[in-house]
Amino acid sequence: MGLELQALLSSTFAGGIVQVPSGHYAVNLVIQKPVTLIALGEVVFDGGARGPVLRIEAPSGLVRVQGVLFANGLGLPGGGGLSLTSECSVELQRCTFRFNRAPMFGGGGLFASSGSVVARACRFEGNTGRQGGAVLVDGTARLELEGCALTQNAATDGGAVRLLDGCEALVSGCTFSDNRVVSSAQGADRGATISMSGTATRAPRLKLIGSVFTETKPTGQSEVASVGQWPGLRVP
Amino acid sequence: MWATKPCLFSCALKTSGCHTLAQYKGVNRLVDRTSGSKPPPPFGLPTAEVAGAAERQTLPVAEVHTGPAVAKPWQPSLKNPPLTNNAQALNDRLQALVDQRAKLGMPPDPKLSKLGVQWQPVVDGALYVDGISAADVVQGSAGTCFLLAPLAAIANVDPKLIRDAITQSDDGTFTVRFFERGKGGKSTPIFRTVTAELPLLDGQDRVYARAADSKELWPSIVEKAYADWKGGYQVIDGGQSQNFIRELTGREAHGELLLFLTPKQVEAKLSAAIKANRPMTATTWPAGSNGGLKVLEVGLREGHEFTIMAFEKSNGVPSVTLRDPNGTTASTLPGADQGKGTVTLPLSKFIEVFGYATL
């Protein structure tokens, strides 16, 4: 079924809609054009720890995904559930990212290094990554999390969300609960929920609106959020 | 019941608005109270950007995109980048010992002051010894295989790119040129100037990247400058090799998931990369993944990036020669040289063991 789905996605014209009937699909998909993917019922995309569940490489335009559960993906090197490395825009609605991993770089659930991602009413549960258990945003990418729940994700830096370089993030109406920073020898070990660090030349930008943090203390650390390179801005 | 207290994030992230952290049954909720008092800040402007502006250094933008790196008249603060957790923890423990001795009225122990991780210049260190080669690069204790494997790959295919990126000044400092990718994919040169001081353990061994020759500096200088640019050695724990290749050379590099390619496609891509003289790396499957056990079977490290040194056909059988950036390998395969860290695998085995390649 996975191959058929990939063939369907590849043959759909730009701007087309692909409706996926409920079921469990063992897939590692690539989307290279702007399409809309809609789950009809309970749709599980299982990455089988063989690579990212979905890679979006459309050079421009808008890719929409609705109602899909992304599970068991493996980020190589980033984004076990979904990896965005092109300049297109991605809209995720009512999607769930569960038990995805990215042990070499980060963003167990979602990784974006360029383009923009808007996630509405999505859930990130039990994902792990080196940097950013649920989400890693790098480079010039833009992220919006709206009404999302991020629960029990873990990383060595940024248990739930890691923001790097010159990215932008808007987090509104989200709930962060029980995300963890796991101690590591080399890593920064900070930001149980959100960790940010820029370079010497640019900084990530984050706007937080009306979000809930029900955080337990991570191992050996007591930070909910931290901002790298600006030690004075760390949350005690 | 709701109760308010000073905002966790307005003090921490210096938002320009007036946020309040309200607590309801132990649950923290960030409430925005800016409406009416002040116009809300434009998207992206609060937090780190606003507060950190004074503390950050603004680097000059170079006029040229190619050619050798040129140190700018602007003088950066030559502060060494932060160390990794383990190095810092060791130093903290030693400092605690020193403090304890002082507290007990004991005389200072001169031996203690020489232990730990300290920034020191390498004795008789030289930027290059016998030119630049992939065999020079040896990984240290930081998780920077994503940086050192492509660095060795660049040294393997075009050492001039490295020579152009590093400039040594008369005052003993080094300026490394990187390219920062902005919106729309446009790259801007960034120059980072660092001293010759490197983190040495107990005044002897380099903690992070080193060269096979104990006096050669260039791999350590590139890693230090990169850490300095990115915010510290702990920040560059893990990354993307194609990013690093682009950042050091200004040239695009592409990642490929080998599992989804046929052997013929992999062969074609490797041949094309060899022909175009592109730096190539490959990453073994991480632990717990589909191919993790196959990596262990051939004695290589899981989730580790290697330099692709060569792709050849002998007697019609294509094979790939790889080098571990650690400079050694535990592999006992017939094509392995443990001392040099190289291993030669048939293409079919290469595709089984390596999940991802930058070509």
CA dihedral for B207, B209, B214, B215, sign (positive or negative) = negative
> What's the alpha-carbon Rg for chain A, to the nearest Å?
17
Check whether the bond before B219 is cis (ω within 30° of 0): no
Q: Give B294's pLDDT tier (boundaries 50, 70, 90).
A: confident
- In the Cβ-directed half-sphere of A1, how many Cα atoms lie within 13 Å? 12
State pLDDT tens for residues A8-23: 999 999 999 999 999 9
List the single residue in A114, A185, A206 with the smallest CB-CB distance to B84.
A185
User: Are B86 and A185 a contacting pair at CB < 8 A?
Assistant: yes
What is the complex's ipTM, to 2 decimals?
0.88
User: Quick check: A171 pLDDT over 90?
Assistant: yes
Q: Is there a contact between A166 and A138 (Cβ–Cβ < 8 Å)?
A: no
**pLDDT greater than 80 at residue A115:** yes
Confidence of residue A232 (pLDDT cuts 50, 70, 90): very low
User: How confident is the model over B213-270, as pLDDT tens digits?
Assistant: 999 999 999 999 999 999 889 889 889 999 999 999 999 898 999 988 999 999 999 9
Query: Across residues B73-85, what is the average pLDDT?
Result: 70
Q: Is the dihedral of CA B201, B148, B128, B165 positive or negative?
A: negative
pLDDT of B74 over the 70 cut: no
pLDDT score for B214? 93
Burial class (CB in 10 A: 0-12, 13-18, 19+), A135: buried
Cα dihedral angle (A57, A62, A63, A67), rounded to 10 degrees?
A: 150
Closest Cα in chain A, distance from residue B101 (Å): 26
Q: CB-based burial of residue B319 (10 Å sphere; 0-12 exposed, 13-18 middle, 19+ buried)?
A: middle
Predicted TM-score (pTM) of the model is: 0.83
Cα separation of A132 and B172, whole Å?
Answer: 38
CB contact under 8 A, A199 and B288: no
Q: Are B323 and B310 in contact (CB under 8 A)?
A: no
Does residue B50 register a pLDDT over 50? no
> Which of B208 and B45 is assigned the larger pLDDT?
B208
Please name the residues in contact with B159: beta carbons below 8 A apart, sequence gap of 6 or more.
B131, B132, B133
Please report which residue ranges of B109-230 form alpha helices under DSSP H.
145-157, 159-165, 218-230
- Give the tens place of pLDDT for each residue, A22-68: 999 999 999 999 999 999 999 999 999 999 999 999 999 999 999 99
Q: Which of B5, B24, B7 is nearest to B16 (CA)?
A: B7
Residue of B nearest to A113 (CA): B243
Instruction: Out of A24-33, B63-72, B75-84, B143-152, pick the least confident.
Output: B63-72
Question: According to the model, what pLDDT value does residue B116 have?
Answer: 87
Q: Sort residue B299 into left (φ over 0), alpha (ψ -120 to 50) or beta.
A: left
Characterize B342-357 residue by residue with b for buried, 16 or more Cβ atoms within 10 angstroms of its Cβ, and e for exposed. Answer: bbbbebebbbbbbbbb
Cα–Cα distance for residue pair A40/A17, rounded to 1 Å: 12
Tokens of B57: 């250094």
Query: What's the rounded Cα separation, in Å, for the pair B285 and B267?
Result: 19
**Strands of the sheet with A194-197, listed across from one edge:** A29-31, A54-56, A82-84, A110-112, A135-137, A161-164, A194-197, A225-227
Please check whether residue B359 is in contact with residue B270, taking contact to mean a CB–CB distance below 8 angstroms. yes
Contacting A residues, span 88-107, partner chain B, CB-CB under 8 Å: 101, 103-106
Question: For the segment B1-41, what is each residue's pLDDT rounded down to a tens digit?
Answer: 444 444 333 333 333 333 333 333 333 333 333 334 443 33
With bands split at pLDDT 50, 70 and 90, how would you rate the model's confidence at A224? low
Residue A216 pLDDT: 55
What's the CA gap between B97 and B94, in Å, rounded?
Answer: 5
Which A residues 180-219 touch B at CB under 8 Å? 183-189, 196-215
